[in-house]
A = this chain, B = another copy of it.
Amino acid sequence: MSEDIELKPMSARYNFLAEPFHCDFNNHLFLGHLGNHMLNAADYHSSERGCGMAWLNQHHLTWVLSRLAIEMQEMPVSYGQFAVETWVESVMRFFTSRNYAVTSSEGKVLGYGRSIWAMIDTRTRQPVDILSVRDGLVARYVDRDLPCPIAPASRVRMGEGALCSSARMGYTDIDLNGHVNSVKYIDHVLDLWPLSWHKAHGVKRLDVAYVAEAHSGDTLDFYMEEEQELTFCVSVRRHVEEGTAVEVCRCRVEFKP
């Protein structure tokens, strides 16, 4: 018997401002901040529909981001108003896919995002059947018709790559879930290229596949491989003990010519 909940509209749109100090040297919103706004929009949307983090956390559950893809034709510029519309595209037992459309205040499409989420039990860290939560409430909000004309979030295939940087995760990398914040990986990965590269090339598309969690004090190694001209794959690995490492996430970054 399903709960007697009045359904809200399938998608919702949230307005954001590209704050000046969230913009890069070129006046464009940092991709990490855009990713953060997408995660916020996801949380607001699911909260308003009975399955947000605050509700889940009270029931020893949480959403875990598994994959994120962002493909932008244009980035919001400083002081610019923009909107992130988000909706659920599909729900399966252990994964749900959620899409995003980013538009300017004039309604112009700036780009799109795709994400895949799992749900876990915060006590056991084991996956939870999403369709079992609140009688499958999430599945009542699936909208298959809204367009998201970008490729699915990729697994990111790559070889070993070459070690190009290391970073120790500190207090400000860790969010309220107790592990390294999803968008902090994006920041660390984009820092692998010098400012001169970013001056010449904006990011066209970013794919991130989150594999394992990293924590405060972990040293992360960044291994890079050039897939083709202007497209790079990065494997982020956490030291476990001398000589062994565990992959925590994998990214592909495609730059504009």
- Chain A residues at the B interface, C-beta cutoff of 8 Å: 19-27, 30, 32, 36, 39-40, 43, 53-54, 78-79, 170-178, 181-183, 187, 190-195, 198, 216-217
Q: Are B40 and A176 in contact (CB under 8 A)?
A: no
With contacts A21-B36, A21-B175, A25-B176 known, is A216 near B194, CB below 8 A? Answer: yes
With contacts A25-B178, A78-B176, A217-B195 known, is A20 near B53, CB below 8 A? Answer: yes
> What residues on B are CB-neighbors of A194 within 8 Å?
171, 216-217
A240 CB, nearest partner CB in chain B, Å:
19
With contacts A39-B21, A171-B194, A198-B171 known, is A54 near B79, CB below 8 A? Answer: yes
Q: Are A171 and B191 in contact (CB under 8 A)?
A: yes
With contacts A20-B43, A39-B21, A195-B216 known, is A172 near B30, CB below 8 A? Answer: yes
With contacts A79-B54, A171-B194, A217-B194 known, is A40 near B20, CB below 8 A? Answer: yes
> What residues on B are CB-neighbors of A193 within 8 Å?
171
Contact of A187 among B21, B43, B172, B216 (CB under 8 A): B172
A181 CB, nearest partner CB in chain B, Å:
6
With contacts A195-B217, A216-B195, A217-B195 known, is A174 near B25, CB below 8 A? Answer: yes
Q: Are B24 and A174 in contact (CB under 8 A)?
A: yes
A192 to B171, CA, bound (A): 8
Chain B minimum-CB-distance residue to A174: B25
Contact of A40 among B19, B174, B192 (CB under 8 A): B19
Chain B minimum-CB-distance residue to A176: B23
A217 to B22, CA, bound (A): 19
> What residues on B are CB-neighbors of A198 within 8 Å?
171
